């Protein structure tokens, strides 16, 4: 995939109507009050929005939020599958579920952050959106309703893409969190408009794309998290390009068990044991250094207050489960990143959500903060861990897209990036 894409700086935007795809899929309070509990994603979109407004573009912003069910019949079906009593499923309740995923609170918050009025359309491509988009003046900003209120969004329906494109003269994508999906607003519209990236996507392409395509060596990949099965693509791809691969987290126990180790109640995917042996062999054949834990912190239950003990890898007693890498492993892994040119990290080293089992993840984060290496964090939980442990501002780049960054590291083509004009 070509990571070198045109950006908003490479095209004329002044006086133009710009359709800007953002990732405003922010977490909302569960009580339906419309309170945004974390506005990080809105803040992340500000540089591109401000640039466009300063250049006197008329900005038509759009985004999805959550997973609304745009058809009543489908909603009833889904709720029934979840075990809800069909008799209780009224049209009114369905409309309420949609209203809770309105972008109106986002327009409000965005307006506060910009210090500027953000007008809000009642729909995506309906009469209200069309009228407001047509009346929009240079330097003004309009937010369309949740793109997933339209059935055609997730189906990448050309009619919807065309209707969105018709409101504007240029398409700018800055929704990195959604580029792995080929939807009408993330990829389809680019069929009908010149398409370029905003600053957020540009940064992701520069750092992650740069690290994958042309890394400063040695390239060390740290892979952890819960399951081998969710990281196959990442392991496969990084085995091709990394100099060293470090394995931690829950997936390490599948490797350990495959090599004859005792893993007690640790996370184990028996279906992937053969695969893990293949990976070890492949690394050896390729001359890639593959590091596995030499010791582990295990617990007598999966709980923050579990009793714990440190044992050698592959010697976890019956009834115990590994929840973190042990101190010798920490030493080994920290040494391995010391002279790295680039480090790509995806997947925590242990159950960092429990402070007693966050030490391995924290030690690795600290080691990264002290290297001169380019340090790149991908994956939703990994980004959260680095943030929570207080090392966020010490990393070169923390990806804003969970699923998107994973697919990026898997070497997959991202539809929302592929559709942008090459630089
Ligand atoms: P990311 O979102 O960064 O790609 P994952 O979703 O793969 O990361 O994994 C994150 C989860 O893995 C965390 O919730 C963490 O608690 C869990 N995890 C890490 N180590 C273990 C372990 N030894 N046992 C169980 N879960 C683990
Ligand atoms: Mg995750």
Q: Which of 316, 348, 379 should be mutated for ligand 1, with most atoms under 8 A from CB?
A: 348
The rounded distance, in Å, linking the Cα atoms of 272 and 264 is 17
- Contact indicator for 352, 363 with CB cutoff of 8 Å: no
pLDDT of residue 57: 98
With both helix axes pointing from N to C terminus, report the angle between 359-370 and 327-338 in degrees, rounded to the nearest 10: 20
pLDDT of residue 30 exceeding 90? no
Q: How many residues does the chain have?
A: 423
Neighbours of 81 (CB within 10 A): 8
The rounded distance, in Å, linking the Cα atoms of 242 and 340 is 11
Give the single-character DSSP code of 261.
Answer: -
Q: What element of type H or E holds 170?
A: strand 170-173
Quick check: pTM over 0.95? no
Give the single-character DSSP code of 346.
Answer: E
Q: Is 348 a pocket residue for ligand 1 (Cβ < 6 Å)?
A: yes
- 81: alpha, beta or left, given left = phi > 0 and alpha = psi -120 to 50? alpha
List 126, 341, 403, 411, catalytic entry = 403
- State whether the Cα torsion 32-35-41-46 is positive or negative: positive
**For the chain, what is the total number of helices (H) and then of strands (E)?**
17, 15
pLDDT of residue 310: 98
Task: Set out the domains of the chain in order of their start, with CATH numbers.
Answer: 8-66+101-201 (3.40.50.1260), 215-409 (3.40.50.1260)
As a whole number of Å, the CA-based R_g of the chain is 24
User: Is the N-terminal amide bond of 269 cis, ω within 30° of 0?
Assistant: no
Residue partners of 247: CB distance under 8 A and separation at least 6: 223, 224, 255, 290, 291, 292, 293
Q: 350 CA distance to ligand 1 centroid (A)?
A: 6
List 93, 104, 227, 262, catalytic entry = 227
Q: Is 165 a pocket residue for ligand 1 (Cβ < 6 Å)?
A: no
Residue partners of 363: CB distance under 8 A and separation at least 6: 330, 333, 334, 349
pLDDT digits (tens, 9 = 90+) for 321-369: 999 999 999 999 999 999 999 999 999 999 999 999 999 999 999 999 9
pLDDT digits (tens, 9 = 90+) for 114-137: 999 999 999 999 999 999 999 999
pLDDT of residue 402: 85
Q: Ligand 1, atom 24: nearest CA belongs to which residue?
A: 250
Q: Is 380 a pocket residue for ligand 1 (Cβ < 6 Å)?
A: yes
- Contact indicator for 254, 228 with CB cutoff of 8 Å: yes
Maximal CA-CA distance, the chain: 70
The rounded distance, in Å, linking the Cα atoms of 77 and 67 is 15
The rounded distance, in Å, linking the Cα atoms of 227 and 234 is 12
Q: Which residues pair with 170 in a beta bridge?
A: 18
DSSP calls for 13-63:
-TT-EEEEE------B-TTSS--BS--HHHHHHHHHHHHHHHTT-EEEEE-
pLDDT digits (tens, 9 = 90+) for 42-85: 999 999 999 999 999 999 999 999 999 999 999 999 999 999 99
Q: 227 CA distance to ligand 1 centroid (A)?
A: 7
pLDDT of residue 33 exceeding 90? no
List 261, 264, 360, 380, catalytic entry = 380
């Amino acid at each position: 995939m070509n990571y070198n894409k045109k950006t908003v700086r490479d095209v004329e935007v002044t006086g133009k109507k710009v359709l800007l795809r953002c990732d405003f899929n922010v977490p909302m309070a569960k009580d339906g009050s419309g309170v945004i509990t974390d506005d990080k994603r809105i803040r992340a979109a500000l540089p591109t929005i401000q640039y466009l407004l300063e250049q006197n573009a008329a900005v038509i912003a759009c985004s999805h939020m959550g997973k609304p069910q745009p058809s009543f019949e489908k909603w009833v079906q889904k709720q029934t599958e979840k075990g809800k009593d069909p008799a209780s499923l009224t049209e009114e309740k369905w409309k309420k579920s949609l209203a809770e995923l309105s972008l109106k609170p986002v327009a409000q918050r965005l307006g506060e952050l910009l210090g500027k009025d953000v007008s809000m359309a009642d729909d995506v491509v309906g009469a209200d959106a069309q009228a407001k988009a047509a009346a929009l003046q240079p330097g003004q900003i309009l937010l369309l309703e949740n793109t997933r209120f339209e059935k055609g969004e997730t189906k990448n329906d050309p009619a919807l893409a065309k209707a969105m494109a018709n409101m504007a003269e240029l398409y700018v994508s800055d929704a990195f969190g959604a580029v792995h999906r080929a939807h009408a607003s993330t990829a389809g519209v680019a069929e009908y408009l010149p398409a370029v990236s905003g600053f957020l996507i540009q940064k992701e392409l520069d750092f992650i794309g740069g690290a994958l395509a042309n890394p400063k060596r040695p390239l060390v990949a740290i892979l952890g998290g819960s399951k081998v099965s969710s990281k196959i693509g990442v392991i496969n791809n990084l085995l091709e390009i990394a100099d060293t691969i470090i394995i931690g987290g829950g997936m390490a126990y599948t490797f350990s068990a495959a090599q004859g180790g005792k893993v007690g109640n640790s996370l184990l995917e028996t279906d992937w044991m053969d695969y893990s042996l293949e990976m070890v062999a492949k690394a050896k054949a390729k001359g890639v250094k593959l590091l596995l834990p030499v010791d582990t912190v295990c617990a007598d239950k999966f709980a923050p207050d579990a009793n714990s003990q440190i044992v050698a890898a592959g010697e976890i007693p019956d009834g115990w489960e590994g929840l973190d890498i042990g101190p010798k492993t920490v030493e080994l892994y920290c040494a391995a990143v010391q002279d790295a040119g680039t480090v790509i990290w995806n997947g925590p080293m242990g159950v960092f959500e429990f402070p007693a089992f966050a030490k391995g993840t924290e030690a690795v984060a600290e080691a990264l903060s002290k290297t001169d290496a380019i340090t790149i964090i991908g994956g939703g939980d990994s980004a959260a861990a680095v943030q929570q442990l207080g090392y966020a501002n010490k990393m070169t780049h923390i990806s804003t897209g969970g699923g998107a960054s994973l697919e990026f590291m898997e070497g997959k083509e991202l539809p929302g990036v592929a559709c942008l004009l090459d630089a």
